[in-house]
Amino acid sequence: MDILYIIIPAYNESANIEHVLADWYPVIEKHNGAGASRLVIINDGSRDDTYALVRKSMEKHPMLLAVTQENAGHGAAILRGYKYALSKNADFIFQTDSDGQTLPGEFEDFWNLRKKCDMAIGWRRNREDGAGRIFVTHVLKAVIRVMFRVSVRDANTPYRLIKAETLKKYMHLIPERYFLTNVLISVIFVKKGCKVRFLPITFRPRQGGVNSINIRKIMRTGINALYDFRVLNAKIERE
């Protein structure tokens, strides 16, 4: 039976985390991998009650785990989660975010493709998270096409199911504490000729709390990424 690890990074999500756990825990129960599957919250140095709330929920949910670290950013938290899942011999790794924007009811379509592709990524159809973020996604797609010479429909979507065996093969190409982990993984898989499928998903507004990554930060991150992209592309092509 396939072992599934659901990885959810969280930073200051006390307003959302209990609802997110209630949404996603039934998914890990259904795909329990004979008891070996886990829902893992990566607490990225939250300054609120996020970690305490997850720890409390663990008392009643045996397949829930909390991993905590000093604040290192969203990309680093995702990378920590992926490495943790690989160390526990997960067969498949699913990642989403802790802001309640994605729907667990759409997971089964991804799970049904797990044997047919190396990664299934959601593309955000009819997004409800603001025109600014939609614009940034279009810019990112264009930048990826220029810098990496590949086309990726929605490279940074926080809704993806990855075959662990394939991810393990390319983990060395992702720098430690990298801030655009999901973007880079998407690019690597497409550029290396892996089987990648894109499925439409619902993407709601944030369900509570305040987003710690605003448009200004996104644009600054994007500008800083241009040099990194050139270096990373050379490394991906070389290896």
Nearest alpha carbon to residue 211 among 98, 68, 134: 98
- pLDDT tens for residues 35-78? 999 999 999 999 999 999 999 999 999 999 999 999 999 999 99
Query: What single-letter DSSP state applies at residue 126?
Result: T
- For residue 234, is pLDDT > 70? yes
What would the mean pLDDT of 129-141 be, rounded to a whole number?
73
DSSP β-ladder status, 92-96 and 159-163:
antiparallel
- pLDDT at residue 137, rounded to an integer: 76
- pLDDT at residue 214, rounded to an integer: 52
CATH of the domain at 96: 3.90.550.10
What would the mean pLDDT of 179-197 be, rounded to a whole number?
96
- pLDDT at residue 130, rounded to an integer: 62
Computed over every residue of the chain, the mean pLDDT equals 91
| Region class of 164: left (phi > 0), else alpha (psi between -120 and 50), else beta | alpha
- pLDDT tens for residues 141-163? 888 998 999 999 999 999 999 99
User: Can you state the percent helix, strand and coil of the chain, rounding each to 5?
Assistant: 45, 20, 35
Residues 6+ apart with CB under 8 A from 6: 24, 27, 28, 37, 38, 39, 40, 93, 94, 95, 96
- pLDDT at residue 30, rounded to an integer: 98
| pLDDT class of 177 with cuts at 50, 70, 90 | confident
- pLDDT at residue 163, rounded to an integer: 98
Q: CA dist 160 to 106, 117, 136, 214, 228, Å?
A: 11, 12, 20, 23, 23
- pLDDT tens for residues 103-131? 999 999 999 999 999 999 999 887 766 66
The whole domain housing 136 covers 4-238
Number of domains in the chain: 1
Can you tell me which residue has the tokens 């011999």?
Answer: 89
Q: What does the chain come to in residues?
A: 239
